[in-house]
Amino acid sequence: METQKPRVAIQGIRASFHEEAAFRFFGNDITTVECTSFKQTFEKLKAGEADYLVMAIENNIAGSILPNYNLLLSYNFPVVGEVYVPIQLHLMGLPGVAFEQITTVTSHPMAIRQCDDFFNDHPNLKVVESSDTAACAKRIRDEQLTDTVAIANNLAARIYDLQILERRIESNKKNFTRFLIMTTQENVQKTAADKASLCFEVRNEAGALFKVLEVFKEENINMSKIQSMPVLGKRDEYKFYVDVEWEAQGNYDRALRGILKFTHNFNILGEYKRYEEEESESR
């Protein structure tokens, strides 16, 4: 029987945080398309081998993932949603391995950076960066490593048969990563949006960006994010990636018309529903 499950491309393998993000957005009934790079997720979408892709864009501790902004613009697939995932990190190894046996800790750089306190407490542990948290967990299982542990999530421990030696070793317990969901133009479904991701350039002169922000203010548009990126080959010129939120569609429509005259190379990367945090997470 033909499957109707959405095929979702992620950078990483099953049980990575990208898959967790995909589950949060689509539910658990998806087909995960494992990729070795962010670029490959876009290529899968382009080739029709995936229906959606999920891509981390920022973290409230590590900040923006800048190369992913370039991918957003160069492939031009519409953003159709966002999801925030709390990053809870556990130390895991082969069952039976004792903490004293461990010489090496392996994980994704973003996870490692979020465990500073743990590494300060254990300065003798060697740290090895890798492509994704789940792949680190899987490698320990596949190669039966008794001197190495991974930092990854609960699901990774479960599906790669590892034992958690220490729970929640992230330094900051309110650590979230924001992921964007993208699809092809044909897959976009018309839904009521209250958030948009925009990209534009302004003239390199006094007050140029201010004029845009003034329109947002006049139309009661909340700017939830602004990120500048250099325009390649043009010294001192920047493009701005901006996320905006609104309560009334009319405000957004008027704001778009209003800012057009102050911007160039204007792009709507996507209009979508902002992510609503589940009750239990906000406590």
Q: Apex CA 188: angle with CA 184 and CA 191, to 5°?
A: 160
Q: How far is CA 26 from the centre of its chain?
A: 15
Q: Least Å distance between CB 178 and ligand PPY?
A: 10
Q: Could you tell me which stretch among 76-84, 108-116, 211-219, 262-270 binds ligand PPY (CB under 6 A)?
A: 108-116
Residues forming a β-bridge with 7: 31
- The answer to whether 194 and 247 have CB atoms below 8 angstroms apart is yes
Q: Least Å distance between CB 233 and ligand PPY?
A: 31
90 forms part of the interface with ligand PPY (CB under 6 A): no
DSSP string, 69-88: HHHHHHH-PPEEEEEEEE--
Which residue, 33 or 56, has its beta carbon nearer to ligand PPY? 56
132 forms part of the interface with ligand PPY (CB under 6 A): yes
Q: Collapsing DSSP states into helix, strand and coil, what is residue 99?
A: helix
Q: Least Å distance between CB 135 and ligand PPY?
A: 8
32 forms part of the interface with ligand PPY (CB under 6 A): no
* Sign of torsion over alpha carbons 195, 77, 263, 58: positive
Q: Least Å distance between CB 134 and ligand PPY?
A: 5
197 forms part of the interface with ligand PPY (CB under 6 A): no
Which residue, 211 or 225, has its beta carbon nearer to ligand PPY? 225
CA distance 93 to 146: 7
| Residue 186 C-beta-side C-alpha neighbours within 13 Å | 5
Q: Least Å distance between CB 19 and ligand PPY?
A: 7
Residues near ligand PPY (CB under 6 A) are 12, 16-18, 56, 87, 108, 110-111, 132-134, 177
